[in-house]
């Protein structure tokens, strides 16, 4: 997770072909996370590889997604369960230690809470009703970062979706908080 320390922003992108993965990988990424220069930094893969497109996860009530670096090393794991926990996404590190979770507030698709491993609120992530495609990351009423939908560059080849969500991390966020906020990025993307 130390790789997250120096990242200020990431964009979630779905592509037909990923350029940074080794040819011997047996996993098929469902999406990647790119940095400010659009370089593929991380890849998300599903447990068992049964689902190969991020869009299919929008219909599934329970899933596990692994975030891998270019060497295939697990960085984070995101688990969403069915039933009573359907509005919650848990985030684990590579050692399966709980980092925190993201909880949808009520039936709203525009308000989430980012919680640490002890269940304490780290951030509120909410969207003004006038613009449900832009979410403010707030702490104590102060906006510190954002998750927003942005159009993909038209000239970009191999992109399978024309829009994607990106995150600008709060400046003071540590690597654990950034890991949990990446979970919020995934949950928000899957909600739209």
Residue 41 pLDDT exceeds 60: yes
pLDDT at site 79: 94
Q: What number does CATH give the domain 2-191? A: 2.40.160.200
Q: Which of 32-41, 42-51, 87-96, 103-112 has the lowest mean pLDDT?
A: 42-51
Summarised one tens digit per residue, pLDDT across range 99-108 is 999 998 866 6
Q: Are 177 and 120 in contact (CB under 8 A)?
A: no
What residue ranges do the domains of the chain occupy?
2-191
Q: Are 87 and 21 in contact (CB under 8 A)?
A: no
pTM across the whole model: 0.89
Residue 157 pLDDT exceeds 60: no
In the chain, the percentage of residues whose pLDDT exceeds 70 is 81
pLDDT at site 154: 47
pLDDT at site 28: 81
Nearest Cα residue to 75 out of 51, 43, 103, 102? 43
Rounded distance, CA 136 to CA 143, Å?
A: 6
Phi first, then psi, for residue 38 (nearest 5°) are 70, 15
Residue 128 pLDDT exceeds 50: yes
Residue at token pair 């449900």: 132
Summarised one tens digit per residue, pLDDT across range 159-191 is 445 578 999 999 999 999 999 999 999 998 887
Rounded distance, CA 177 to CA 123, Å?
A: 9
Q: Residue 186 is inside which H or E element, if any?
A: helix 175-191
User: Within 3-78, where are the H helices?
Assistant: 54-57
């Amino acid at each position: 997770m130390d790789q997250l320390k120096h990242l200020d922003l990431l964009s979630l992108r779905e592509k037909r072909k990923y350029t940074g993965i080794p040819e011997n990988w047996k996993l098929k990424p469902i999406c990647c996370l790119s940095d400010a220069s659009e370089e593929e930094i991380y890849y998300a893969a599903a447990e068992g590889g049964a689902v190969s497109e991020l869009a299919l996860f929008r219909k599934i009530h329970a899933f596990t997604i692994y975030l891998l670096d270019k060497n295939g090393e697990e960085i984070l794991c995101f688990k969403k369960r069915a039933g009573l926990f359907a509005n919650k996404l848990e985030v684990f590190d590579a050692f399966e230690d709980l980092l925190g979770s993201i909880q949808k507030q009520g039936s709203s698709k525009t308000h989430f809470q980012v919680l640490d491993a002890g269940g304490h609120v780290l951030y509120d992530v909410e969207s003004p009703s006038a613009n449900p495609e832009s979410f403010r990351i707030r702490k104590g009423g102060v906006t510190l970062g954002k998750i927003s939908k942005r159009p993909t560059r038209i000239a970009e080849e191999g992109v399978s979706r024309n829009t994607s969500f990106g995150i600008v991390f709060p400046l003071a966020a540590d690597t654990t908080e950034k890991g949990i906020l990446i979970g919020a990025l995934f949950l928000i993307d899957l909600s739209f």
